[in-house]
Amino acid sequence: MRGAMIYAPGDIRFEALDDPRILHPTDAVIRTAVTCVCGSDLWPYRGLEPMDEPHTMGHEYVGFVEEVGSEVTSVKPGQFVIGSFATSDNTCANCRNGFQSSCLHREFMSTCQADYVRIPHAQGTLVATDQVPGEELWPSLLAVSDVMGTGWWAAEAAEVKPGSTTVVVGDGAVGLCAVIAAKEMGAERIIAMSRHASRQKLAREFGATDIVAERGDEGIERIKELTGGIGADSVLECVGTAQAMQQALRSARPGGNVGFVGVPHDVAVDGQELFFSHVGLRGGPAPVRRYLPDLISLVQSGRIDPGKVFDLTLPLNEVAEGYRAMDERRAIKALLKP
């Protein structure tokens, strides 16, 4: 089969790789239906994460089960399945507490921009749809496997409640999906921080009621103006930089909450500032597995359409162009078709 490898910052190659096979009785192998490039893939692509040697890429996937290990009974060959970027046995103490992305047997997926993928802990990780969904639903189901699940988690971590005011920091695919989540959870006012016309438009389509284009201190001031001087009930930080975190923390009201889902890079939170802010802070890798059944239903019923974040579709063998387009912000998110 073939798949994407990163050799160095900016150097993505699509090349022949060994076919994945069942290594453990808890594995499955799937044939990729569609996959994509994630905003977090841009960290190594931009040289912002240390990299020792060339490695495979990709952690978002939907596909068809090809083969299962002897202990996998929950899915079977031929089924259409959706998973998460983090595998989970769905039975350990952390899984039972609803934090499957901290599963005691967690593995982070990193081989999904490829024709076939091995899924560890398939029994707990994969969810099959009742029937094979029409191709028009594949992008939204793919979004559920990461960006939509992550946006949902941002809203949950920030305790979005009916009638509340919610700010979304970051207008990438996760931020845009976070707007969907905030709306589904009943936020009355959803302020998207974005300075890109196409993303502002999609944010409004997803439910944003206000757009703030300013950043940093000016952005915080605008949020305060829009929230009676005190700040927002919930702020969803969907970037991962120190600037975005500071903007998020300072945009929340005393007693409000920040949910942070961008993997933090060089972020340190000052204890005394957090203390006097009275803001609650929770983040982490989204427990997507917990949300899968509900989010799949919302997609299948047509209630949400997070697949709209894919504004570029490429054949999988042009994966390198997907990275380039996202790096240069020519695309929000690139869908890849094997």
9 near a copy of itself, rule: CB under 8 A = no
Per CB under 8 A, the list member of 59, 253, 289, 333 interacting with a copy of itself is 253
Least distance (Å) from a copy of itself to the CB of residue 170? Answer: 15
Of 46-54, 178-186, 187-195, 283-291, which segment contacts a copy of itself by CB under 8 A? 283-291
Tokens of 288: 């997507």
Residue 265 near a copy of itself by CB under 8 A = yes
Residue 16 sits in the site that holds a copy of itself (CB under 8 A): no
Task: For the CB of residue 100, give the shortest distance to a copy of itself in the complex, in Å.
Answer: 10
The rounded distance, in Å, linking the Cα atoms of 187 and 96 is 28
Dihedral of CA 196/197/202/208: which sign? positive
Considering the rule CB under 8 A, would residue 255 count as an interface residue with a copy of itself?
Answer: yes
Residue 105 and residue 95: Cα distance in Å, rounded?
10
93: contact with a copy of itself by CB under 8 A: yes
**Token representation of residue 335:** 């869908």
Phi, psi of 213 (to 5 degrees): -90, -20
Alpha-carbon span 14 to 318, nearest angstrom: 8
**What count of Cα atoms within 13 Å lies in the side-chain half-sphere of residue 183?**
22
Q: 82, 167, 235, 267: which one contacts a copy of itself (CB under 8 A)? A: 267
Of 271, 301, 302, 328, the residue at the interface with a copy of itself (CB under 8 A) is 271
Could you tell me which residues come within 8 angstroms of residue 37 by beta carbon, excluding any fewer than 6 positions away?
58, 113, 319, 322, 323, 326, 333, 334, 336
We find the least distance from the C-beta atom of residue 201 to a copy of itself, in angstroms, to be 30
* Binding of a copy of itself by 54 (CB under 8 A): no
Candidates 74, 94, 300, 313; binder of a copy of itself (CB under 8 A) is 94
When asked if residue 157 is in the footprint of a copy of itself (CB under 8 A), the reply is yes
Per the CB < 8 A criterion, the answer to whether 298 and 149 are in contact is: no
- Please report whether residue 243 would count as binding a copy of itself according to CB under 8 A: no
Rounded CA gap, 167 and 329, in Å?
Answer: 22
Verify binding: residue 281, a copy of itself, rule CB under 8 A: yes
Q: How far is CA 83 from CA 26, 241, 278, in A?
A: 14, 27, 36
**Cβ atoms of residues 3 and 17 within 8 Å:** yes
228 binds a copy of itself (CB under 8 A): yes
The stretch near a copy of itself (CB under 8 A) out of 54-62, 99-107, 181-189, 300-308 is 99-107
Given the rule CB under 8 A, which residues bind a copy of itself? 93-94, 97-99, 101-102, 104, 157, 228-230, 242, 245, 253-255, 260, 263-272, 274-285
